[in-house]
Amino acid sequence: MIAGRYRLLDPLGEGATGIVWRARDEVLGREVAVKEVRAPAGTAPAAARELYDRVAREAGAAARITHRGVVRVHDVATEEGRPWIVMELVRGLSLAEVLAADGPLPPQRVAHLGEQLLVALRSAHEAGVLHRDVKPANVLLGNDGRVMLSDFGLLQPAGTEPAFLAPERLSGREPGPESDLWSLGALLYAAVAGAAPPPLREGVAGVPAPGGAGPLAPVLEGLLRRDPADRLPVAEAARMLRVVGAGGRVRADGGPVSGPAQTPAGGRTADGTTAGGGSPAPAPPDEAVPRRAGLVLTAGVLVLLAALVALILLIAY
């Protein structure tokens, strides 16, 4: 029993940052997820205390995020001098588990997932919270259809995966919202390619998209740029992901939509424009239907008149 309230039932997973348990909140009578935070073996007591204090502070900050795409933090309990983070229990699989079982995902599905994750990240950034560890293992695909980010700010150095860390973080600089955007780009790269992006080589401005990215390539290349100032703005990344998720294509960040890969001549693209570009195709005039109805009525009247004339002639003769 943790803090006299949370009864641990069984472990859900274990990693460098500790163990996540399925537990029961005996006060509210509901199941929750409880993260037991452990300092890495060999950590000095003072460093462990600093780590636990930081995790507790960051969990408190994460509790301010109320977006449906973010796993809710309910409580921070203390037991044995360590923080235990009490969170919403999400039933489903992590994106890492899905990729391990099914392999790379289609670009359109990846774009759909990316748009939802981007909205969740934007909500966190607006609340003043950075995620710091966006990776497939921290994305949960709920059985109820939700796509959710977990473990906001609860990162220990031993739990980092360099392939998903922005260049500025690898060089020791202070992270910002753009660092989370790089990590999102690396996650989308892994989802569509089946493997994390390669290390960014010296003197190279960004990571090129993998061969299977298809219409997602401009988004990946826009997010995976070395200089944080050059990365796609959130609004533009959201627009591009929305178009690709709907089956369309984008030429580049800031560029117009070019429509689905195969658009019939004169057909409409994802933004409602015609295949040749320009303004949306006009709909048929609304007056066409009444005009056809009037023609049918006139023809009916003429038939009746003809029948009446024939009847009069028959009687007369």
Q: Strand 139-142 and strand 147-149: pairing?
A: antiparallel
Checking if the pLDDT of 126 tops 70, the result is yes
Q: What average pLDDT does range 204-225 have in this prediction?
A: 95
Q: What percent of the chain has pLDDT over 70?
A: 76
So what's the pLDDT on residue 167? 93
Tens of pLDDT, residue by residue over 230-257, are: 999 999 999 999 999 999 999 765 554 5
Residue 313 to residue 294: CA distance in whole angstroms:
29
Checking if the pLDDT of 35 tops 60, the result is yes
**For 83-93, b where at least 16 C-beta lie within 10 A, e where not — what string?**
bbbbbbbbeeb
**Mean pLDDT, the chain, as a whole number?**
82
So what's the pLDDT on residue 203? 84
Residue 166 and residue 182 in contact, taking contact as beta carbons nearer than 8 Å: yes
DSSP 8-state secondary structure symbol assigned to residue 214: G
So what's the pLDDT on residue 13? 86
Find the DSSP H helices in 132-202.
167-170, 177-193
Find the DSSP H helices in 145-287.
167-170, 177-193, 217-223, 234-245
Tens of pLDDT, residue by residue over 148-204, are: 999 876 654 445 678 899 999 888 888 999 999 999 999 999 999 999 999 888 889
User: What is the layout of strands, in order, in the sheet containing 139-142?
Assistant: 92-94, 139-142, 147-149
Q: What percent of the chain has pLDDT over 90?
A: 60
133 is catalytic: yes
Checking if the pLDDT of 98 tops 80, the result is yes
Q: Which long-range contacts (CB under 8 A, 24 or more apart) does 12-16 make?
A: 15/137, 15/159, 16/40, 16/156, 16/158, 16/159
Residue 308 to residue 300: CA distance in whole angstroms:
13
Of 133, 151, 180, 253, the catalytic one is 133
Q: What average pLDDT does range 100-119 have in this prediction?
A: 97
Residue 93 and residue 140 in contact, taking contact as beta carbons nearer than 8 Å: yes
- Binned at pLDDT 50, 70 and 90, residue 311 comes out as low
Q: What average pLDDT does range 30-56 have in this prediction?
A: 91
The model's pTM: 0.76
Tens of pLDDT, residue by residue over 241-300, are: 999 999 999 976 555 454 444 443 344 333 333 333 333 333 333 334 344 445 445 555
Q: Which residues contact 114 (CB under 8 A, 6 or more apart)?
A: 184, 187, 188, 219, 241, 245
| Domains identified in the chain and CATH numbers | 1-89 (3.30.200.20), 91-264 (1.10.510.10)
So what's the pLDDT on residue 15? 73
135 is in an annotated binding site: no
